[in-house]
Structure 1
Amino acid sequence: MKKLRVFIGNNRMHRTLHAAILILLVFLLNIASSRDNMVPSHVTLSSSLTCRLVGGLTREQRTVCHKAPDTAAIAFEGLQLAVKECQHQFRWHRWNCSSLLVKSSNPHASSIMKRGFRESSFLYALTAAGVAHSVARACAQGRLLSCGCDPLGYRASHDPRGRAKVNKWEWSGCSHNLAYGIEFSKKFLDLREQVDDLQSKVNVHNNNAGRSVSVLFYKNV
């Protein structure tokens, strides 16, 4: 694998990144639609064990986890869904995401996530989007005490002549709380990175790329 420290320098790879994360979000949205009709239930007390059971967390991440164990448990669901979707999308490729399968169940603890490979950049974006989406969905489902559904949601509409598509805020019932999901994704995942480290800055850049695609997705559904 050739090292590629910055994603944004390659337009072709940047387009590939956006397409891949959109595939992930469609996958997660399909799962969400199958669960939205279920009776909402709050995360059980077992979520408090998550902070101790999941390995590969930094001290700062464990602090966040202990303060919000229910949200952290949902974030880990998002990480696992991202890994499963990665395996599904690349199952016929030479690189099939198998390197993400580690004993700690935390893909960020895998060796590939600690390197500056092209695949690493993709995975940072993928997992950041997965966490943001899963937390946003859990808010709408009433699974978290710290947040609720977003009363306003993105709706796509057309002008009277049907020519121009316009994105605007409209009442759309109980929509996914994307703002809260993105906020927690930043708080939880970006804490892994060192402020003055070049590779850490690249990792945060890729995290932001994944979250920006999440916003793009919701603006166009």
Structure 2
Amino acid sequence: MGICSMEPVVASAAMKGYKMALKYCTAEFAHEKWNCSLARNIWEEKSNTKNVSKFDDNVLPSGLRDTKEAAFYYAITRAGIAHSISEACTKQQTEGCKIGTEGFSQDNILRAIRKSQNLIIPLLNQVVSRSWIVKKAIAEEWQWGNASHNIEHGIKYSRKQLEDGFNGKHANRLPTSDRLNLHNTNVGRRVYEKAVLLVCKCHGMSGSCATRTCWRRQADFRKVARELKNIYFAAKRVSKPQSGNRNTNRYLYYGSKRRRKLNKGQLAFTRKTPNLCQRSNRLGITGTRGRSCSNISEAACQRLCCGRGYTTHLVRVQTKCDCEFSWCCDVTCSTCEKLQVLRICQR
């Protein structure tokens, strides 16, 4: 089941999340040899050619399928979709999800505290442990706030709609490529969930914190994208499962001399990334000729240009300057020109 088969409101939220994920993917890889370029858009009508994989593999250039670039693509797009569906739920734009105090209990607060890596609790000027916060939440009966993001709804709905039938007991019978994609999509959702913020606000006379109200808030998606890129650099190349061995097929393994079970938080791939320096129409690789590398170091620019060198140009750009605020409520700015160094990889 794909995005186009979702309910209209959910499909709109999912597409918004997908586009947001690609935006951050492009930003994170702007100065890498692969700049998050795709072969086609997911919202275009799929071709009539048979595709063995039930995932949206034909979105990626053929030369990048099952590589660590594909792993990042699946992780960040599924994280973006979950993020956007959760946000739509909070704004009460989707059906079947609960927000605020309805459906929540103190157990949910404690579970959120244990899950969250990021805690924002005002009026505490000392570093406190997670166990200390749990004890305080129990003793003081912290309450769940009215504006919580329903994180679970976004995660579950995106999984159900996009990978329905893949996450069951028969997942180990899927083709290796599908199992790989399924693993990487779940990595993206895990990173998204771990980045969620738990925010607590104090209530009482003169901020005495007689009562605390807590709610979960989605992190800036930039943080999710950055963490996924860090995981991308540490992605593991896994071996194909051995046929006929049910116990072995339950997991993905990496390592040639000593096989190790893949961690749930690690991105995985089976194919080595092809040469990204040269253009290849057959593989769908755009190459790096003509790419801009103006805002990075010379060493990084040389690496992006694959040792071919780059040309330097001085261009005049117009920017706003000398801005003034006028009461009320206008901002007037002058237009200034400045010289900017532009570096382009040689063709």
Deviates more, 1:170-179 or 1:126-135: 170-179
Cα separation, 2, equivalents of 1:95 and 1:80 = 18
Q: Aligned pair in 2 of structure 1 residues 103, 139: CA closer, same or farther (>3 Å)?
A: closer
**Residue 81 and residue 191 in structure 1: after superposition, are their counterparts in 2 closer, same or farther (change >3 A)?**
same
Report how many residues are paired.
160
1:178 to 135, 139, 151: 151
Paired-residue identity, %: 27
1:164 to 116, 128, 152: 128
Aligned mates of 1:119, 1:219 — CA distance in 2: 28
How far apart are 1:119 and its partner, in Å? 0.5
Aligned residue number for residue 127 of structure 1 = 77
1:219 to partner: Cα distance: 4.7
Alignment of 1:109-128 (within 5 A): 109-112=58-61, 115-128=65-78
> CA offsets, 1:128-168, max 9 Å, x none?
1111110001111122233242535646359x883433266
Distance verdict in 2 for CA 1:100–1:164, change over 3 Å: farther
- Extract unaligned runs of 5+ from structure 2: 46-54, 114-118, 135-141, 199-218, 220-347
User: For the Cα contact (< 8 Å) 1:112–1:120, is it kept in 2?
Assistant: no
Larger RCO, structure (CA 8 Å, separation 6 or more): 1
- Tell me the residue number matched to 1:79: 18
Task: Tell me the TM-score normalized by structure 2.
Answer: 0.40
User: For the pair shown, which has the larger CA radius of gyration, 1 or 2?
Assistant: 2
Unaligned stretches of 5+ residues in structure 1: 1-59
Mapped contact 1:190–1:207 kept (Cα < 8 A): no
Whose helix fraction is larger, Structure 1's or Structure 2's?
A: 1
Shift of 1:98: 1.7
Moved over 6 A (4+): none
Determine helix, strand or coil for the equivalent of 2:13.
helix
Please tell me the root mean square deviation across aligned C-alpha atoms, in Å.
3.4
Corresponding residue for residue 51 of structure 1: none
CA distance in 1 between partners of 2:100 and 2:94 (Å) = 13
Distance 1:181 1:138 in 2: 9
In 1, distance between residues paired with 2:39 and 2:154? 23
Alignment of 1:134-213 (within 5 A): 134-151=84-101, 154=112, 156=119, 157=121, 162-166=126-130, 170-191=143-164, 195=171, 196=173, 197-213=175-191
> Deviations along 1:94-148, whole A, 9 cap, x unmatched?
2111226537359934134871011001111101111111000111112223324
User: Given the superposition, is the C-alpha separation of residues 62 and 210 from structure 1 closer, same or farther in structure 2, using an over 3 Å criterion?
Assistant: closer
